[in-house]
């Protein structure tokens, strides 16, 4: 009864959040409905003891109240619900006062910060304001950190997507955090006024202190990986290492999650087992609760860590009270608590994948692990670890294909290696940080940490060296993802119910869905198209005959990082690796008989199967007489609209072969 009640409550709340996102309903109207339902529930509870008729409506009223609570919670997290939203009050010569609530040191020219706006300073008044602003602060500016109260004079810009094929959806990502505005700041428009000590600031400073210890003692090659694996900060990790871990199916190691919490709890349990005075009833649970919550705050309380610590807390509190919670109840209850705290968690990719992985383990681990049993414990250990990975993959495959368009083919090999390496890597850093101040011992432990992380890196590189280490190019839509999850659920139900014919039918359906994704991938690889990208420099992608070419303007230097930023997502989307070709000023590049690019003083002249385009640097008076379409782009945003035929300043231009 409790289990079904928690699931019903969670379902109602989830639907409410979804509809709150889909429907544009003012929060005041939703609040009115919510207050009415709450008042109705109080009336029903008051008179249900006397009038039996009222009792039948209590459950429905609670469901509707939770549904409206989901809608209301979502709307109240959105900037549109703020009466004093700073974006609508801020004028050109105004200044903003706000507190930095999140700060991330960058590797390049800018640090990233989120500023909670408190006031607008106008020429003759101070105005109370609300909202959060995403800021990129030049590293040469005065040093600030989380907790800094700053005075800003920003040039506010709405966060926009460039709408290039396959690109990261920045608008959706920041909307899920309640942010829609961005600004770039330097030392002329930011000043630190004060510093406020806060609970989150304490953990942020503690994290920075530990990062400095790692920087001082761990080799430069391993620093980024150590910080990512132990503290969840991937900003210092090289792009190459990120790609290696992603291709091997090991990104979950770098995103602090339930796996890390489980390793720490196992390490703590081991200590308690060997120290007799600690073997007291419930003492382990008290220590474990303190440890995991401290770890969660230290690593920034990501959605996946919040899920793990909330679930464990529910299970631990139940055990302390002498009650047993079934794992599914803990999963549903933790999800409901987290979404009540922050409804925007629902749109966090980490939150979604974390819960789908743990649901996959809850449903599929038991049936799969029973398929094999080994006489020796070590074989059972690795088999059980492999099954956990398989069960988690079953839960997350549809969504990972939807978001990342790739599948790591050797994930099971990766999981076997990480069973030992990830645990040893995390625990070694914990031990090192505990004893880092002890002379000589700290040096030995630092060398040990370097050796372990070198081994981990070599293992991931070995996975990447295997043929076909990752399959890319999968592009399922929302309907296909929904159908995959529905088929997985039905197949599992038929398996548990021992309905073999229906089970076989479910397997066939899953095979057909998977085959359709493969067919669509191969079709996309062979489909020919030319894309003029929305970029501040001229850049074109050409795809034909299962080959991909990226042509970029060589008149100014482009870094590999910039090229990867433009290309990586599209390469994953189409399942092809691009050949990068610079177009030198004054030269011609011919890729096919009737596909060529020529760099001229007026811009790039592009011939694509007798369709002529000029990626214009300047106005060409007689272009239309020559049947040349003028293309305006971010490389020359001031080109007059009267002279252009196509515009790539809002989204990429996709040109099809009309022959």
Binned at pLDDT 50, 70 and 90, residue 55 comes out as: low
Residue 1 has pLDDT above 50, yes or no: no
Binned at pLDDT 50, 70 and 90, residue 314 comes out as: confident
Binned at pLDDT 50, 70 and 90, residue 323 comes out as: low
Mean pLDDT of 143-159: 91
Q: Indicate the Cα dihedral angle 112, 114, 119, 124, nearest 10°.
A: 20
Question: Domain limits of the chain?
Answer: 2-77, 86-196, 204-280+294-299+352-472, 478-523, 529-655
Query: Residues of 264-283 as b/e, b for ≥16 C-beta within 10 angstroms?
Result: bbebbeeebeeeeeeeeeee
- Strands 148-152 and 157-158 come out as unpaired
Tokens of 415: 């999981």
* Of 107, 109, 103, residue with least CA distance to 148: 103
For residue 375, the SS3 value is coil
Residue 125 has pLDDT above 50, yes or no: yes
Kindly report the number of other CB atoms within 10 A of residue 568's CB atom.
Answer: 18
Q: Could you tell me the fold of the domain covering 86-196? A: OB fold (Dihydrolipoamide Acetyltransferase, E2P) (2.40.50)
Residue pair 405/573 in contact (Cβ under 8 Å)? The answer is: yes
Mean pLDDT of 69-97: 90
**Alpha helix positions (H), 100-198:** 170-175
Tokens of 201: 């600031």
- Only one residue has tokens 């809850």, namely 362
pLDDT in tens, 434-463: 999 998 999 999 999 999 999 999 999 999
Predicted TM-score (pTM) of this structure? 0.87
Q: What is the per-residue DSSP string for 396-447?
A: HHHHHHHHH-EEETTHHHHHHHHHHHHHHHHHHHHHHHHSTTSTTHHHHHHH
Tell me the sheet residues that pair with 472: 406
pLDDT at 2: 45
Q: What angle do CA 253, 256, 262 make, to 5 degrees?
A: 85
Residue pair 147/197 in contact (Cβ under 8 Å)? The answer is: yes
For residue 611, the SS3 value is strand
pLDDT at 624: 62
Kindly report the number of other CB atoms within 10 A of residue 128's CB atom.
Answer: 12
Tell me the sheet residues that pair with 158: 181
pLDDT at 52: 57
* Of 90, 70, 91, residue with least CA distance to 10: 70
pLDDT in tens, 591-607: 988 899 999 888 899 99
pLDDT-above-90 percentage for the chain:
42
Binned at pLDDT 50, 70 and 90, residue 318 comes out as: confident
* Of 213, 139, 194, residue with least CA distance to 445: 213
What is d(CA 22, CA 71) in angstroms, rounded to the nearest whole number? 10
Residue pair 394/360 in contact (Cβ under 8 Å)? The answer is: yes
Mean pLDDT of 113-126: 92
Mean pLDDT of 162-183: 90
pLDDT in tens, 511-554: 999 999 999 999 999 889 999 999 988 999 999 989 999 998 88
Binned at pLDDT 50, 70 and 90, residue 258 comes out as: confident
What is d(CA 216, CA 214) in angstroms, rounded to the nearest whole number? 5
What is d(CA 220, CA 294) in angstroms, rounded to the nearest whole number? 27
Residue 376 has pLDDT above 60, yes or no: yes
pLDDT at 557: 63
Least confident window among 106-120, 396-410, 625-639: 625-639
Residue pair 177/169 in contact (Cβ under 8 Å)? The answer is: no
* Of 324, 296, 299, residue with least CA distance to 309: 296
Task: Tell me the CA end-to-end span of the chain in Å, nearest whole number.
Answer: 65
């Amino acid at each position: 009864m409790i289990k079904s009640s928690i699931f019903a409550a969670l379902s109602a709340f989830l639907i409410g959040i979804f509809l709150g996102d889909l429907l544009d309903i003012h929060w005041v109207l939703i609040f009115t409905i919510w207050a009415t339902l709450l008042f109705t529930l109080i009336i029903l509870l008051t008179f249900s003891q006397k009038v039996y008729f009222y009792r039948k409506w209590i459950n429905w009223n609670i469901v509707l109240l939770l549904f409206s609570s989901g809608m209301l919670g979502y709307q109240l997290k959105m900037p549109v619900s703020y009466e004093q939203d700073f974006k609508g009050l801020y004028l050109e010569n105004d200044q903003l006062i706000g507190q930095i609530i999140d700060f991330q040191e960058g590797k390049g020219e800018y640090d990233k910060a989120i500023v909670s706006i408190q006031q607008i300073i106008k020429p003759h008044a101070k105005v109370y304001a609300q909202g959060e602003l995403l800021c990129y602060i030049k590293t040469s500016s005065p040093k600030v950190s989380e907790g800094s109260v700053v005075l800003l004079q920003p040039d506010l810009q709405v966060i926009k997507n460039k709408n290039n094929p396959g690109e990261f959806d920045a608008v959706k990502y920041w909307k899920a955090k309640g942010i829609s505005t961005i600004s770039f700041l330097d030392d002329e428009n930011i000043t630190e006024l004060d510093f406020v000590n806060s609970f989150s600031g304490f953990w942020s400073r503690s994290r920075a202190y530990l990062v400095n210890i790692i920087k001082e003692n761990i080799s430069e090659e391993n620093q980024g990986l150590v910080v990512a694996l132990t503290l969840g900060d991937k900003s210092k990790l090289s792009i190459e290492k990120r790609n290696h871990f992603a291709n091997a199916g090991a990104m979950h190691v770098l995103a602090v999650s339930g796996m890390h919490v489980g390793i720490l709890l196992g390490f703590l349990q081991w200590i308690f087992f060997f120290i007799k005075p600690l073997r007291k009833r419930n003492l382990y649970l008290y220590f474990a609760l303190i440890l995991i919550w401290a770890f969660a705050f230290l690593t920034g309380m990501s959605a996946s860590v919040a899920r793990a610590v909330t679930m464990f807390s529910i299970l631990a509190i139940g055990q302390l009270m002498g009650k047993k919670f079934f794992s599914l109840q803990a999963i549903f209850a933790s999800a409901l608590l987290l979404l009540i705290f922050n409804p925007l968690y629902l749109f966090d990719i980490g939150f979604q994948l974390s819960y789908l992985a743990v649901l996959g383990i809850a449903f599929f681990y038991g049936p799969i692990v029973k398929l094999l049993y080994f006489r020796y414990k070590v074989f059972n250990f690795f088999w059980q670890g492999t099954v956990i990975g398989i069960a988690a993959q079953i839960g997350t495959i549809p969504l990972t294909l939807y978001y990342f368009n790739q599948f790591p083919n050797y994930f099971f090999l990766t999981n076997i290696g990480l069973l030992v390496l990830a645990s040893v890597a995390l625990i070694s850093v914990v031990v090192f940080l505990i004893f880092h101040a002890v002379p000589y011992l700290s040096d030995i432990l630092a060398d040990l940490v370097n050796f372990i992380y070198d081994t981990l890196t070599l293992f991931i590189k070995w996975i990447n060296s295997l043929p076909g280490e990752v399959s890319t190019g999968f592009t399922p839509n929302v309907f296909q993802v929904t159908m995959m999850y529905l088929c997985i659920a039905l197949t599992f139900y038929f398996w548990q119910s021992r309905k073999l014919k229906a089970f076989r039918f479910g397997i066939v359906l899953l095979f057909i869905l998977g085959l359709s994704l493969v067919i669509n991938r191969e079709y996309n690889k062979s489909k020919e198209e030319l894309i003029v990208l929305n970029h501040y420099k001229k850049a074109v992608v050409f795809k034909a005959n299962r080959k991909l070419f990226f042509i970029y303007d060589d008149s100014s230097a482009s870094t590999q990082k910039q090229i990867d930023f433009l290309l990586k997502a599209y390469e994953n989307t189409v399942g092809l690796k691009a050949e990068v070709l610079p177009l030198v000023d004054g030269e011609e590049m011919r890729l096919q008989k009737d596909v060529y690019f020529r760099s001229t003083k007026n811009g790039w002249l592009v011939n694509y199967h007798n369709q002529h385009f000029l990626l214009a640097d300047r106005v060409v008076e007689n272009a239309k007489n020559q049947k040349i379409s003028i293309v305006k782009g971010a490389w020359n945003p001031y080109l007059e609209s009267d002279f252009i035929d196509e515009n790539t300043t809002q989204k990429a231009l996709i040109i099809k072969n009309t022959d």
